A and B are shown apart, each in its own frame.
Chain A
Amino acid sequence: NAGVTQTPKFQVLKTGQSMTLQCAQDMNHNSMYWYRQDPGMGLRLIYYSASEGTTDKGEVPNGYNVSRLNKREFSLRLESAAPSQTSVYFCASSDGRVSEQYFGPGTRLTVT
């Protein structure tokens, strides 16, 4: 039982490059989330998926797209990376709307 896994752990991109961050959970959770964490700030929600087949914007969705591929997997795509997207990205999952969230180990992304 791996919980929530994320790949890659580290990534360096040049401005304008694209990439996809992968997230998978094996807890049969309905809801999945993508957050970014910047120094001195709290976690900010980028997108979430309340259930398989649905996705919704969070607080800071601009510059990102997501795909809920199936119940297990929720990917985050940066189509044209910008230095402002340098951050640590966390994926999380929960059983429902009012439930504890379980976090992946994070992806440290640097855009130069």
Chain B
Amino acid sequence: KNEVEQSPQNLTAQEGEFITINCSYSVGISALHWLQQHPGGGIVSLFMLSSGKKKHGRLIATINIQEKHSSLHITASHPRDSAVYICAVRGNYQLIWGAGTKLIIKP
């Protein structure tokens, strides 16, 4: 069993829909990262959080340490949000990466 599981693996939605991507992990962590990988391949860090909730524009990330679960939400989704969203958790030193969720937003 992978230490970091993301769901769904693939998600297709219409423009304007509210999007939720989930990340569950089985190890103790000091922080959790959400990153975005564009179709061209570039990887950008979106959030790093260790408790509660963070918001940046239309993106919201939450984490529940007790349940070992995090969610990434996108409000008013847009085709430019189409990308792979990756969850990674920080254990003792290294990051443990999820396999990613491929999101496609159709106009």
User: Is A44's CB within 8 Å of the partner chain B?
Assistant: yes
Total interface residues on A, using CB and 8 Å?
22
Q: Is the CB of A42 within 8 A of B86?
A: yes
- The reply to whether B42 and A105 form a contact with Cβ atoms under 8 Å apart is yes
Q: Tell me which residues across on chain B come within 8 A of A103, comparing CB atoms.
A: 42-45
Task: Assess the A43–B31 pair: CB atoms within 8 A.
Answer: no
Number of A-B contacts (CB under 8 A): 44
The reply on B99 being an interface residue by CB < 8 A is: yes
Q: State in angstroms the CA–CA spacing of A70 and B100 once bound together.
A: 33
Bound-complex Cα distance A103 to B95 (A): 14
With contacts A43-B86, A58-B94, A98-B31 taken as known, whether A90 is within 8 angstroms of B48 at the C-beta atoms is no
Decide if B57 is an interface residue (CB 8 Å cutoff).
no
Residues of B within 8 A of A100 (CB): 33, 45, 48
Evaluate contact between B4 and A42: CB separation under 8 angstroms: yes
Interface residues on B, range: 20 to 34
Partner of B41, one of A44, A88, A102: A88
Given contacts A97-B93, A98-B31, contact A40 B99 (CB under 8 A): yes
Question: Given A100-B33, A103-B44, A105-B41: A45 and B94 within 8 A (CB)?
Answer: yes
Contacts A42-B4, A42-B99, A98-B30; is A106 near B41 (CB within 8 Å)? yes
A48 at the interface (CB under 8 A from B): yes
B85 near A: Cβ within 8 Å?
Answer: no
Question: Considering residues A40, A59, A97, which has the most beta carbons from chain B within 10 angstroms of its beta carbon?
Answer: A97
0/1 per residue, B77-101, Cβ < 8 Å to A? 0000000001010100111011110
